[in-house]
Amino acid sequence: MTDNPYNSMLHQFERAAKLLGYNESDYKTLKYPERELKVSVPVKMDDGRIEVFTGYRIQHSTTRGPCKGGIRYHPDVSGNEVKALAAWMTWKCSLVNLPYGGAKGGIRCDPTKLSERELKKLTRRYTAAILPLIGPEKDIPAPDINTNAEVMGWVMDTYSMFQGYTVPGVVTGKPLQIGGAAGRLEATGRGVQFVVERFLKKIGRDLKDVTVAIQGFGNVGSVTANLLYNCGAKIVAVSDISGGKFCSSGLDISDILKYTEESKDNIKNYRNPDAVDISNAELLELDVDLLIPAAQESQITKENVNRIKAKYIVEAANGPITFEADKILEERNVPVIPDILANSGGVIVSYFEWVQNIQFLLWDEEYTNDMLEKIITRSFEEIWRLSEEKGVSFRVAAYMIAVSRVVEAKKIRGIFP
């Protein structure tokens, strides 16, 4: 990865801190993660050979509560990436006012080349390696890229075996049968939907008259596409790691979902006479009303930002726009709804799941979705008001809110000893 996502995070964070009038001594500790654990994860493969994978669990801040953050399996996982993602989780939780700090984990691997048995061994050994850091009162992992409810079930079971009793609250995003929350699977995409609807209403646009391109068709991208499509949006382009499809009159998202779910195949092989093949890079540069990057970080950079034609951008992925590119979009007056709000639905409903687990409660999906919309809407309104009051971008406003809450909490607690 040519762009260091941690540097982008630091630029965004420090800009907000300075606009808030803080001295560096007020926020200096937040420039560094509290803990960084790098682990070797040996796995006996199906053919008998031993492979050693590299894993990470990084905790950025526990100032406002236990850490929260996902675990991803990807060939590009690195220390800097995980550090940035952990910090973004701190700001995300603070922005939506959850009593959490930020963490993130990952294993450098290609899960598509591993059998289910190998994935299970990898997960269990990784869980054992990060065991000193995690727990329902310390650090609560969740799914991320290439991990899912099943993987979280393996993490929970491994942790529980070491404790000697079942501990459902150690992870969120679990299967419903072992303490998962109704609505958690769709939560991030549903949060994106709520943000898109709220933003368009503010600027006087009707969702049905807006063209949309979505980069990324994993859990977040596919759920977002489906929810917006069902609300009448014209989705003209979608893509996954293999490439994408474009249709100026609009794609049939329900048909694409049916194809990918039933065939377990990539979007590239989906056939529709009206749809043409495009690359992920081409999708980003389409002339659409709304662009939703829902893949990985650092997709819009200083190299391609001047070719971005979208009128509005909603960040469903974490850090899809680098700091340099973000400045250029800001100068061009392209509204960007930042990731720490747009994709916060996942951690909000993860919080609901954790609350249910530690208090032995059970909420229905309707109540969960209502509470999610309430928190997302409140946070959106706070950002909108501050953006107008201070004359700053939505991202800067979001960071000002998030950073101020963490810094003020740090001031109250002080520096130990």
Instruction: Provide the token pair at 394.
Output: 């939505």
Host domain of residue 148: 33-168
d(CA 268, CA 277): 7
Domain co-membership, 61 together with 116: yes
Specify whether 104 is catalytic. yes
173 occurs within a structural domain: no
Helix, strand, or coil (residue 330): helix
Domain co-membership, 192 together with 225: yes
Domain co-membership, 51 together with 147: yes
Instruction: Spell out the per-residue pLDDT of the chain, length 417, in tens.
Output: 446 889 889 999 999 999 999 999 999 999 999 999 999 999 999 999 999 999 999 999 999 999 999 999 999 999 999 999 999 999 999 999 999 999 999 999 999 999 999 999 999 999 999 999 999 999 999 999 999 999 999 999 999 999 999 999 999 999 999 999 999 999 999 999 999 999 999 999 999 999 999 999 999 999 999 999 999 999 999 999 899 999 999 999 999 999 998 888 889 889 888 899 999 999 999 999 999 999 988 899 999 999 999 999 999 999 999 999 999 999 999 999 999 999 999 999 999 999 999 999 999 999 999 999 999 999 999 999 999 999 999 999 999 999 999 999 999 999 999
d(CA 284, CA 213): 8
Domain co-membership, 194 together with 327: yes
- Find, among 26, 52, 96, the residue nearest to 341 by Cα: 96
Domain co-membership, 131 together with 196: no
Domain termination residue (choose one: 112, 133, 168) = 168
Element housing 206 (H / E): none
Helix, strand, or coil (residue 180): coil
Domain co-membership, 196 together with 92: no
Q: Please, is 311 exposed, middle or buried when counting C-beta atoms within 10 Å of its C-beta (0-12, 13-18, 19+)? A: middle
Q: What is the DSSP letter of 34?
A: S
12 occurs within a structural domain: no
Residue 3's pLDDT is what? 65
Domain co-membership, 200 together with 163: no
2 occurs within a structural domain: no
217 occurs within a structural domain: yes
284 occurs within a structural domain: yes
Residue 45's pLDDT is what? 98
| String of DSSP letters for 134-171 | -BTTTEEEEE-TT--HHHHHHHHHHHHHHHTS--GGG-
Residue 1's pLDDT is what? 41
Domain termination residue (choose one: 322, 342, 362) = 342
52 occurs within a structural domain: yes
Residue 88 in contact with residue 16, Cβ under 8 Å?
A: no
Q: How many domains does the chain have?
A: 2
318 occurs within a structural domain: yes
Q: In the block, which residue shows the tokens 């008259």?
A: 209
Residue 333's pLDDT is what? 96
Counting every residue written for the chain, the total comes to 417
Helix, strand, or coil (residue 406): helix
Instruction: Provide the token pair at 355.
Output: 């609350």
pTM above 0.85, yes or no: yes
Q: In the block, which residue shows the tokens 């850490």?
A: 67
- Find, among 149, 190, 229, the residue nearest to 348 by Cα: 190
Task: Supply the CATH number for residue 75's domain.
Answer: 3.40.50.10860
Domain co-membership, 161 together with 216: no
Residue 265's pLDDT is what? 81
Domain co-membership, 214 together with 282: yes
Instruction: Provide the token pair at 274.
Output: 């009206």
Domain co-membership, 233 together with 118: no
255 occurs within a structural domain: yes
Task: Supply the CATH number for residue 210's domain.
Answer: 3.40.50.720
Domain termination residue (choose one: 342, 369, 399) = 342
d(CA 233, CA 291): 13
Residue 217 in contact with residue 261, Cβ under 8 Å?
A: no
Mark 143-163 as b/e (b = at least 16 C-beta within 10 Å). bbbbbebebbbbbbbbbeeee
Helix, strand, or coil (residue 52): strand
Domain co-membership, 294 together with 323: yes
Domain co-membership, 333 together with 211: yes
- Residue in 104, 120, 121, 410 annotated catalytic: 104
- Find, among 124, 123, 127, the residue nearest to 140 by Cα: 127
Instruction: Provide the token pair at 140.
Output: 């609560």
